[in-house]
Structures are given as structure tokens and as C-alpha cells.
Amino acid sequence: MKAALAQLAPVLLDRDATAKKAVDAIRDAASQAASLVAFGETFLPAYPVWLSRTDGARFDTDDQKELHALYLDQAVSIERGQLDPIIGAARENNIWVVIGIAERPCDRAGHTIYASAVTVSPTAGVVSVHRKLMPTYEERLAWGVGDAHGLVAHDLESGDHHFRLGSLNCWENWMPLPRAALQAQGVTLHVATWPGDVVNTHDITRYIARESRAYVLSASSVIRASDIPPSVPHRDRIVTDESATLHNGGSAAANPDGTWLLEPQADTEGIFVVDLDPAFVRRERQNFDPSGHYSRPELLSLSVDRRRHTTARFRDD
């Protein structure tokens, strides 16, 4: 099976323009016979790069309110159909999509953003929305804390090949228990979404593959000064050097034995296509299967609450 990593630059804080780039990338990946294409963390409508560049932790300030209001406006409400271009492109091109979005969900009253990895089936549409369990460091100034509702695996069939697909957002890939939750469901293809930096993907991509004996795709974005439109508020503070690269990519793929399938790609946009062989997974699990013959569930087991957390539950009968 072929899978693609779409390492692209979002049009910062422009949902429609970024969605158009994603649709074009889906078509490109499908034209290269890929059965899956993966995008970076909150690719749509971009990672909140301003937080670390505009003193984002200052409390109750007009500039941070202005930027956050724009982020909310451009975030993605799946319920309102704002992911429909991606869903339609997946269906029209018969390709699975894992895409990071800044999600603005109606089930949490509509004014909090979550970093969510959305899995889209070409036949069933959105099959899972995994909200990041714990935003990292300054991300907590922009995103809410997610839940485990989206910690699910999906059966991906491609010709005679079968994979179990699961995904995690950025630094939660370092958390042993979410990884274990996916491994317990038999994941053989792990997608890790990242905002875009080689330093993030260089070590952990191979580590997860070696630990899980699964293929790992690390999908990242690129953000350069030129990708930030002049209309973005306080751009002069976000960009102090017009030649600067804020996120340099790092998309990569590893085999189930931890060797590189695609070494981290830096400072470039592109659709990177790799070949996956399920027999490779079976070979590597001969001597280590973390949730099968090398587990001791009677001694060590994991409990996962996959209910979608919500503020209120109403009964009107």
C-alpha cells in the first residue's frame, strides 16, 4: 500500500485558503496511488505560532484577545460543515485522510479550540476526532484539554492489504499510555501529527515504530514568514525577519523495525509517498507483540474512558 505525507505551509489563519491547499494535496496523493494522506497538527487553519512570539502569556491584553478571536473565527466546526471540502475530496479520490485541525466543536459551547486529529474515510466520512489530551506548554493559552473519545483504531483496506490505523497529536506521542491504548487495538499504522520541526520527529518516529512494531508516519507542516498574510494582526511582531522559517517540517516515516522509510524532510513543501507492506509488521511481531504474546494483561492492564466529555447533559422528556 502507498501512503502520503503532505508537508505543506498553511495560509495562516485562513481556513478556506488552507482547505484548498489540502484538497489539492489529497488529489495529488491519490494521483500517485496513495490510499492514505496525512497532514500536520492543526494544519487547518494553522498552528498558533504567535503565542511564543508576542508574549502570549500576558493576561487580559487586547492583542492576544484580537488574535484569539480571529483564531476562533477561522477554526473548524465539523458540525457546521467546515470540513466538508476535505471529506468530499477524500470521497471523490477514494483516499483516507488524517488531518490536524483547530477544532471549534459545538458540543463544548462553541468558543473553545481543541487540537484534533481527524480521520476521514472515503466511504464513511469522519470516523474519529481525537482531541489532544494535553496541550503542550504555551499551547494551553490557545487550546482546551481533550478527552479519549477519539482514541480508536480503524480498519484500512487497500486491495489485498489490511492495516489498523490510529493517530496521536504531537507531544502526546511521547505519552506511554495513549500509545498503549492504540497498540491494544492492534494498530499497525500509526500517524503522528506535528506542527513542524525536525527536532520533534527525528528520534520519536523510529522509537514508536520499534516499540509498537508498526509503521509510523510523522506528518508535519512548514511555516515561513512568507506564509503569514499581511492581514494577520500584529504580523510585525510575529515576523521579525522576512527570510525566517518558523517551522521547518520534519515529516518522516519509519518501518516496523525502527529503520527509516523516509528520513525527516526539512525546509521544503511536498507530497512524500512511501510503500507499506503488512508482511513487514508480521515479521517484526514474531519476537515482540506489545499487546499480544509479550503482554501480561492479568498483571498489567490499561483502563480508558472513551466517553466524550461535555459540560451538560439535558433531558427534555
Residues labelled catalytic? 41, 132, 170
- DSSP strand pairing (245-254 vs 222-224): antiparallel
CB proximity list for 314: less than 8 A, separation 6 or greater: none
What phi and psi values does residue 257 have, to the nearest 5 degrees?
Answer: -95, 5
**DSSP assignment string, 138-184:** GGGGTB----STT---EEEEETTEEEEEEEEEGGGGG-HHHHHHHHT
Q: What is the full DSSP assignment across 34-101?
A: EEEEE--TTTBT---TTTTTTTTTSTT-HHHHHHHHHHHHHSB-TTTTTTHHHHHHHHHHT-EEEEEE
Q: How far is residue 48's CA from residue 54's CA, in Å, rounded to a whole number?
A: 11
Cis omega before residue 10 (within 30°)?
A: no
At residue 45, φ and ψ (nearest 5 deg) are -100, 30
